[in-house]
Chain A
């Protein structure tokens, strides 16, 4: 089976090259049979990669330690549940995972468009096949997951304990799905440029793909934050690590695109910009892969250093050069169909929203690569950590939050004074009152005050939109209020799904701002001894150390320290934090002991307990106690964000609006206002 997997990779490489060449020829010549052959190549490559993936999965489950990858990332006593994680836990497996997911997306894209977009599809197949073939080539020539050892070890090294967490079973695939699915919109954008078919067809084809990419990235990022919070034990969820930044940058670019594409759909503007954003998002996803695999920037998350980084760098440069060369070639054909009519319009608001997104993307990119730049220019290493990113990105993020509220309030084309007054009066009143109230309550952090005031501003804008829309339906159709809400959202999923996403963002910002009031302390407690920590809300948490117990569980030896917890004198329960020493199947310790934190969470704050260790092998324990305000809002904000994304991409059962607009234009009953 292993040999079959290896052979499948080689054949997939050859078919990938064949399909890419044939697809290109089909695009140039317009010959249908060549186009069909290229599309079929995508299916064949998918089948071959599925065989290779099945072979690796079988080797992992069967503990075939003759394969270097299996020996490096699994052991006989690794729970089967986590064997799945081992598939993508290492460099080699993750390359195969990336390739099979991309091939699956490519096959779906071919299937969905089999009777449509005939001029685009040969080029779409080329771009997707070239990308898949690149990943296969990296595997075959530099990082083969089927590489054999010269001997058979009795057991494998096992999976890093920090990866043995349910969050890690879901989080990396989600991020991968997000990164990888960007390739499909990128392929359509390049196909539109290559074929010269620059109308709205390619936009219609990628609409759901873009929302899906964005959704996967969003869920992947939030799950990653959750994993870091519950597993790593440092008491936070975002450390501005280069690999975290690598996932944030394409998300920012995609979010910018999801806003600016509306202007292209409604007004025929920003065509160059939108193609540029899609290209940028794809390149950033490859850049993120380069960062994690090259070792050029040190990160706690990155794979071991290897030479595959150079492959990605070369691919990145070639893809960027080709894409931007094509864009410049088609530049004159991408002129706007209409112009901005007023600075006080939704188009203008979206322009500035896009500007802020791009500037934040740039600032994250700049901070991430600055250490390398500094070393090149001055020969001096520097560290660019959270103090830098917080300093630069907090004001930009708040500016973005402000625009999140402003955008939906301003009318398309041109907003009148009456429109502005009507739209802004309640949100602004809410914002000012909140800011004033928090200042009067002597909230100590100015940025937090601004964040909460803006959060109220955006929330009121969204609430206002829902209330007015629902009331209109209630009046017009005499629908009951709940039915009116459901139909309001159902009939305009993209718009109201977007508003739900805005609410999710507000919740995330509320959670982020809460970190300004974090409190932490370290204590040493003998059994029966007590410590107190006061939360920013004034609650007093009293913890009493019960003692330390040790026991064996699954593939680990656990040392658990327990605390009785009281809030304001009322008993709330026991919290147990652990040190886990993972063992191999022969009972020998593997890896460093890992920490399992204890978290008691509610809507206001988390009590976060870390058992640091015992004092000289006794039951006397060192704890770190942390009060993290408003973390709950981050996780549920992520959930709301995902729900909003799902609403937006849910099929309506009707043709896309672009089609409706085109038909309306063809029918000639669209008037130009103010032209």
Chain B
């Protein structure tokens, strides 16, 4: 706080001037902090005062250095879906593990992702298509810059292995089941013999009835 306290008188004056036009509509402020200069606590917590319609005047923050990185106004192409799509496929090189779009729009503190965003725009402006932009990033930084491994060479293993696993699983389950059907024991297994006594003889009618009862029970 000591950084701003030297300017407190000037800041207090500015705050009063800013707050005066709508002072009557200010919501109840929090109890002033003992550590903050008067100028800062003059700005009320919570939503600021309502403004007159059409009033778009912008006041200066009292402690801008406390408000995170200063932002530039949003450019016209920031919301372009093509730009977002490309940025969603490129990893920010700041070490955050996020894609460029997510990184630059999350805490808005990264300086790398906005720079990469500008490169994307510049490359699109130079006439590159989306695949060409991605290829240019890959050439510049290597495969690691892409959010998913490019589908070629060894990387194909990444994509195919889960489905190979699924296929292998189906084959294994199929073989196991076939084995069960083939090796169905005529006599109960040794271990099962103790636990599960021989079933009482049942006629076809009994079994049919039992099947029906079981189905009813299951339902």
Contacts and interface: CB of A to CB of B under 8 A. Distances in A.
Interface string B66-90: 1111111110001100001000110
Contact of B61 (A343, A415, A548, A670): A548
B130 to A, nearest CB: 14
Contacts of B181: 339-340
Interface string A573-608: 010100101000001010011110000000000000
Given A416-B211, A521-B79, A614 B106 contact: no
A25 to B, nearest CB: 28
Nearest to A408: B218
Contacts of A117: none
A550 B68 CA distance: 12
B120 interface: no
B57 interface: yes
A576 B143 contact: no
Nearest to B62: A550
A546 B218 contact: no
A152 interface: no
B43 interface: yes
Interface in B81-139: 84, 88-89, 91, 95-99, 102, 105-109
Interface residues of A, number: 114
A522 B218 contact: no
Contacts of B158: 366-367, 370, 374, 382, 384, 388
Contacts of B183: 339
Interface in A4-32: none
A528 B177 contact: no
Contacts of A381: 142-144
A333 interface: yes
B205 to A, nearest CB: 13
Contact of B148 (A388, A415, A549): A388
B24 interface: no
Contact of A671 (B41, B91, B199): B199
Contact of B107 (A385, A523, A529, A594): A594
A595 B1 contact: no
Interface string A196-230: 00010000000000000000000000000000000
A218 B123 CA distance: 44
A87 interface: no
B48 interface: yes
Contacts of B108: 595, 610, 612-613, 622
Contact of A340 (B33, B66, B71, B177): B177
B49 A547 contact: yes
B68 to A, nearest CB: 4
Contacts of B214: 411-413, 673
B207 interface: yes
Contacts of A387: 88-89, 147-148
B197 A550 contact: no
B148 A385 contact: yes
Looking at B68, B102, B177, the one whose CB has the most chain A CB atoms below 10 A away is: B68
Contact of A619 (B58, B105, B145): B58
A579 B63 CA distance: 12
Contact of B2 (A587, A594, A672): A587
B40 A614 contact: no
A58 B133 CA distance: 56
Contacts of B149: 370, 374, 382-384, 388
Nearest to B45: A551
B210 interface: yes
A673 B47 CA distance: 72
Interface in A650-669: 662, 665-666, 668-669
A512 B56 CA distance: 39
B211 A673 contact: yes
A358 interface: yes
Given A391-B159, A550-B66, A615 B195 contact: no
Contacts of B95: 298
Contacts of A574: 47
A662 B67 CA distance: 68
A622 B71 CA distance: 7
B162 A549 contact: no
Interface stretch (A33-41, A105-113, A185-193, A553-561): A553-561
Given A374-B149, A622-B108, A422 B191 contact: no
Contacts of A542: none
A149 interface: no
A383 B91 contact: yes
A232 B106 contact: yes
B70 A614 contact: yes
Contacts of A412: 214, 218
Given A339-B184, A388-B158, A614-B70, A668 B197 contact: yes
13 contacts: A232-B106, A300-B97, A367-B158, A385-B91, A413-B214, A414-B211, A547-B51, A551-B44, A560-B46, A610-B106, A615-B72, A618-B60, A671-B199
Given A374-B158, A562-B48, 6 more contacts: A340-B180, A355-B173, A412-B218, A416-B215, A522-B105, A551-B36
